[in-house]
Amino acid sequence: MRTALLRSLIAGTIAAATMLQTTLTAHASGKETDPVESGTSGDLTILVTKLTQAQATARLRSSGITWSSSGNCNDRDNPTCTSFEQINLTTVQGAQTLKSASGCALNITGGTEVGHASGTFSHFNGYKLDMSLSSCLTGYIQRNFTSIGGDKWESAAGNIYFLEGNHWDITYFNCGGC
């Protein structure tokens, strides 16, 4: 219930921001346009702040968050790498909030590189991170967040933590109170 409400609120905020941006762009160009963008599916463009690899790693490093990859690389086009290119600012801030709140060591093993499932709120689109398992992180999530069935927990901010066997798959809809 809370997840649906939060997603509805996020969608409404995104729709309003999209309409405002479209209206301002039309006003600045002197053209009158319909302020709602729509495609054949009726989807609205989601506006988020994207980071470069360097920007993301600087933020993560400043919080003491580590990352690793089986390929020892950060190429977004290589599924054995861990890339942060085009990650959402709120996703990085969410990881920083998790680190600060939990006090746990965090190691990211998956970012925006290819090889993950597709979708709007996907790794490639900058919404998800994979994190290594640790008893500290697992205990923090299971003690402080709400079980929503299966191996999924939801934070009070609406972010979703999914225990996928050998790692946590985390979807950040927002920064989690940054």
Task: Quote the domain boundaries for residue 32.
Answer: 1-47
pLDDT of residue 101: 97
Residues 5 and 92 in one domain: no
pLDDT of residue 13: 46
pLDDT of residue 27: 33
Q: pLDDT at residue 49 above 80?
A: yes
Residue 141 lies inside a defined structural domain of this protein: yes
Q: pLDDT at residue 12 above 90?
A: no
The DSSP letter of residue 29 is H
Residues 12 and 55 in one domain: no
Q: Which two tokens stand for residue 15?
A: 């729709």
Output 85 or 11, whichever has higher pLDDT: 85
Instruction: Give the contacts of 55 (CB within 8 A, at least 6 positions apart).
Output: none
Residue 176 lies inside a defined structural domain of this protein: no
Report the distance separating Cα 129 and Cα 90, nearest Å: 12
pLDDT of residue 40: 35
Residues 12 and 52 in one domain: no
Residue 101 lies inside a defined structural domain of this protein: yes
Residues 30 and 94 in one domain: no
Distances (CA, A) of 35 to 30, 71, 111, 138, 139: 14, 45, 33, 44, 46
Q: pLDDT at residue 35 above 90?
A: no
pLDDT digits (tens, 9 = 90+) for 116-175: 999 999 999 999 999 999 999 999 999 999 999 999 999 999 999 999 999 999 999 999
Residue 144 lies inside a defined structural domain of this protein: yes
Amino acid at the residue 139:
G
Average of per-residue pLDDT values in the chain: 83
Report the distance separating Cα 1 and Cα 5, nearest Å: 6
Which among 81, 31, 79 is positioned nearest to 53, based on CA atoms?
81
